[in-house]
A and B are shown apart, each in its own frame.
Chain A
Amino acid sequence: MEGFEDIQPLPITTELPDELCRIMYTDEYKETMGIARALIQKQEYSKRALDLTAKAIGLAPAFYTIWNYRFDIVMHMADQDEDAARLLNGELDWVDETTLNNPKNYQIWSYKQALLERHPSPSFKRELPVLELMISDDMKNYHVWSFRKWCVLFFHDFTHELSYSDLLIQKDVYNNSAWTHRMFVLKHSNPDQKQIQLELEYVKEKIQQVPQNVSSWAYLQGLYENFLSGSYDTSIVQFAQMLTNNVTESPETAQTSWPEIDSSYALEFLATVYAKKDSTKKKAVKAYQALADKYDSIREPYWQRQISMLE
């Protein structure tokens, strides 16, 4: 291979007897891997070695040792460079480009974390645009969201997060990652009671827009449990009753015809609240029965289990 004439390749083993999953490797693959393997063995830390790892990663992105070796090269270069920050930024640029070309590559996130941890002057500002691009590309990508949360903690910077989660919730109110991100941010930023009230209004508005949404109901419950010591007041109970056509409030315990309601999650929420007190347990049973009979019948075995646990 050009530029590597002095390297004796370490060819990959293939065509063994009774080999399983034999692959018809391309010449490019055999040649690149042969040189990459030889360089790893020699532990050559050079610009040409760095370039070759990029090629090898393109061909075999799951080859962890190549990533490990590339990182080693970069660290050696950074040690010798007067401007380590510039060099590491260049590497971050390379990863971002690789990431955008292959977003399912799971190695990149931990690789980026390792780079940022060793960077003399890491910047969240630098990370934000690529994170936004990645998330707008795949709005529920678990790895990208985890990386964003890692960044927020690493940089101790929560300033962009509430407005960012709001933006995504506006785009798609069903985006569970955006909702859990919002709760994560809130829990780390010591909100006062005024802010909690604002959040309550925020989530109630989203629930009114789309009442059948597990993510917004979970957020509502999170607000009460994390910040309001789990005491559900009359106003929130009435809010849920309104979305359930008051089915829990009529005196009969069982019904043959249940009315239409807006949200099974509202009903489940009521059941959870009612199950806390002996005086309202009957209503909880009724809510579970209604869920089993009509509003969420696929989970009939689960609702029956809830009823038997109350009795």
Chain B
Amino acid sequence: MASIPNHAKHVRFLERHLSLLPGSQQEHDVNKMAVVFYSFTGLMALGIDVAEKYRSSLDWIHRHYITIKLPGWQQTISGFTGSLSVQIPGVNTVSLPNTLFALLVLKLMKDETFWDNHLDRQNIMTFVAKCQSPENGSFSSTLDYKNLKPSPVDPKDLRFCYIAISILYLLGCRNHNEFARHINLDKLLNYILSQQCEMGGFGSYNEAHAGYTSCALSALYLLGKLDQLSDEFKERTISWLCQRQVSREGCMSLLEPNANYDHDDHGGFQGRENKFADTCYVFWCLNSLRILGTQGCELPARLDLAEQFLLHRTQNTLIGGFSKNDQDDPDLYHTCLGIAALKLIEGSFDGVLFMPKNDAGLC
């Protein structure tokens, strides 16, 4: 597949999220960097040179970078906020996910000057390290607004573990010692392994979830620690992931009485057992399978049917974009994930770093 049909409509759909937004979008104010990241990644995967097109906005993007050392702190931290609206002088509002989003945006913008001359890698790595929970080794999405401890009220789970590791990787960590210099790697590995589920996959309290599975496997991959998983668990996880492809064939048609089954989801992937298929889980499942697959081997799943699910069921051919299913309106997240999944199938998307291939520019 050379290009996604309705290319121009998807480009317009993504670009709309970067332009003037109505007041109804206010609740996304604090996560503007996420909006920029999903839009840019989608556009870049569609072959639009965002570095060229949005060069004049670099200044605005740079403003989201802050460096902070409050009275009584031993260390200085740096990172990004998701929005200028959350920056308050004298208060720590740096966000772990938005720091990753911004770093990836800078990569897509090929902004070597800022990367080399303005980013303080040590400060960012200090911030990441402080987000790690001393109790169980997982990561929080932000620090307390006054002190250098994980926020007492924020979730700590596999998503933020992946984000933390991805940031450290982008900043140059490549092996055990380089990661372990900044964070408690043994505790993190113990935490990730504690989220393994009996029937394969990762999730909290033994209910596997394709999103958490992708986060856990991507983090282990970047750490070079996939060998921490037993062969038996890897096999179970491959099986669990393959089973997430929804089908209408054979015995699967007997699933009709399940209120969360639709035979027209054929070929799509679900995030958990007995749920509807959803655009984003095509990406999370296939990325996970790819990480577990041996190189050169084809994935043991029907990629052609997954592609058809995206193109014929969740793609919006009228206004562009992708939705999670055939019912909802298209949204930015599922548009980005849908395009990423199609490009992953094509082989032109790095699912672990979540970046279009060959366009990354830096490093």
Do most interface residues of chain A lie in helix, strand or loop, or is the interface mixed?
helix
Quick check: B142 and A41 within 8 Å, CB to CB? no
Quick check: B154 and A110 within 8 Å, CB to CB? yes
Quick check: B142 and A175 within 8 Å, CB to CB? no
Q: How far does the Cβ of B144 sit from chain A's closest Cβ, in whole Å? A: 6
Q: How far does the Cβ of A161 sit from chain B's closest Cβ, in whole Å? A: 12
Q: State whether A60 and B29 are in contact (beta carbons under 8 Å apart), knowing that A18-B60, A299-B243, A301-B301 are contacts in the complex.
A: yes
**Closest chain B residue to A22, Cβ basis:** B20
Quick check: A261 and B251 within 8 Å, CB to CB? yes
**A 289-311 binary contact with B (CB < 8 Å = 1; else 0):** 00100111111111011000000
Quick check: A180 and B206 within 8 Å, CB to CB? yes
Question: In the complex, what distance in Å separates the CA atom of A230 from the CA atom of B141?
Answer: 40
Q: State whether A65 and B251 are in contact (beta carbons under 8 Å apart), knowing that A174-B258, A302-B242 are contacts in the complex.
A: no
**A 65-77 binary contact with B (CB < 8 Å = 1; else 0):** 1011101100000
Residues on B close to A: CB < 8 A?
Answer: 17-23, 25-32, 35-36, 54, 56-57, 59-61, 63, 84-91, 93, 95, 141-142, 144-146, 151-156, 198-199, 203-207, 209, 238-239, 242-243, 245, 247, 249-252, 254-255, 257-261, 266-267, 272-275, 298-302, 305
Do most interface residues of chain B lie in helix, strand or loop, or is the interface mixed?
loop
Q: How far does the Cβ of B238 sit from chain A's closest Cβ, in whole Å? A: 8
Query: 22 A-B Cβ contacts within 8 A?
Result: A10-B88, A14-B85, A21-B25, A24-B21, A24-B22, A40-B88, A59-B26, A64-B141, A106-B155, A109-B155, A114-B152, A146-B207, A174-B260, A180-B206, A210-B257, A212-B251, A215-B274, A263-B251, A295-B250, A297-B249, A299-B242, A302-B242
Quick check: A65 and B273 within 8 Å, CB to CB? no
Question: In the complex, what distance in Å separates the CA atom of A291 from the CA atom of B243?
Answer: 12
Residues on A close to B: CB < 8 A?
Answer: 10, 12-14, 16-26, 29, 33, 37, 40-41, 43, 59-65, 67-69, 71-72, 106-107, 109-111, 114, 140, 142, 145-146, 149-150, 172, 174-177, 180-181, 183-184, 187, 210-215, 218, 221-222, 225-226, 261-265, 291, 294-302, 304-305
Quick check: A13 and B84 within 8 Å, CB to CB? yes
Question: In the complex, what distance in Å separates the CA atom of A10 from the CA atom of B203?
Answer: 41
Quick check: B273 and A215 within 8 Å, CB to CB? yes
Quick check: A142 and B207 within 8 Å, CB to CB? yes
Question: In the complex, what distance in Å separates the CA atom of A10 from the CA atom of B84?
Answer: 12
Quick check: A183 and B254 within 8 Å, CB to CB? no
